[in-house]
């Protein structure tokens, strides 16, 4: 299935809200990703995503629709050579290899665009699909923090996957 990564636009609001307002997505995201996901949430996110220069947060465009998001969040201070990768994909497109390919594109873009040496992601221990996508994209499991997250009334493991420049 074909997709493109492109900057978010104001006219993405309808598809963003339609796809993001899904508990099956929100349950695998930090609490900053709300559920229910409203038009106001979408407007605030699109405005936030448009502030990067160069762009660091993209929509995953499938068939002309904003069908997910992926971004690199540069770290500061002693972690300044790192970027955290975050992503989500509309449920109808799960299982087609899209996220793995999008992750590979973002890793290449990140290392080409910024002076960073490591890109990491922190999926929940319960999110097997995300773990497999990261592994297929060349990420290595660096750490498992048992029961360190609290989401939807339960404790979850936090995993740390990373890829390094030149490896």
How far apart are the C-alpha atoms of 37 and 18, rounded to whole Å? Answer: 8
**CATH assignment, 4-164:** 3.40.630.30
pLDDT on residue 98? 98
- Our CA angle for 9, 73, 77, nearest 5°, is 145
**Tokens standing for 14?**
């309808």
Do residues 84 and 121 make contact, with C-beta atoms less than 8 angstroms apart?
Answer: yes
Largest CA distance in the chain: 41
pLDDT band at 119 (very low <50, low <70, confident <90, very high): very high
Segment 34-53 mean pLDDT: 97
How far apart are the C-alpha atoms of 5 and 70, rounded to whole Å? Answer: 8
Q: Where are the domains of the chain?
A: 4-164
Q: Which residue has the higher pLDDT, 167 or 98?
A: 98
End-to-end CA distance of the chain: 27
pLDDT on residue 74? 98
Q: Is the pLDDT of residue 17 over 90?
A: yes
pLDDT on residue 1? 78
Find, among 73, 23, 28, the residue nearest to 52 by Cα: 73
Q: Is the pLDDT of residue 167 over 80?
A: no
pLDDT, one tens digit per residue, over 69-97 is 999 999 999 999 999 999 999 999 999 99
């Amino acid at each position: 299935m074909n997709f493109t990564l492109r900057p978010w636009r104001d006219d993405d609001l309808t598809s963003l809200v339609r796809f993001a307002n899904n508990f099956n997505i929100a349950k695998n995201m930090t609490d900053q990703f709300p559920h229910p996901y409203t038009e106001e949430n979408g407007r605030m996110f699109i405005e936030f995503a448009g502030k990067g220069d160069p762009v660091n947060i993209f929509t995953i465009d499938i068939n002309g629709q904003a069908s997910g998001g992926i971004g690199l969040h540069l770290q500061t201070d002693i972690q300044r050579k790192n970027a955290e990768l975050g992503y989500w994909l509309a449920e109808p497109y799960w299982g087609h290899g899209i996220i793995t390919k999008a992750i590979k594109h973002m890793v290449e873009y990140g290392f080409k665009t910024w002076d960073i040496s490591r890109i990491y992601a922190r999926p929940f221990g319960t999110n097997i699909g995300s773990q497999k996508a990261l592994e297929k994209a060349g990420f290595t499991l660096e750490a498992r923090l048992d029961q360190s997250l609290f989401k939807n009334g339960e404790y979850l493991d936090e995993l740390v996957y990373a890829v390094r420049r030149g490896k």
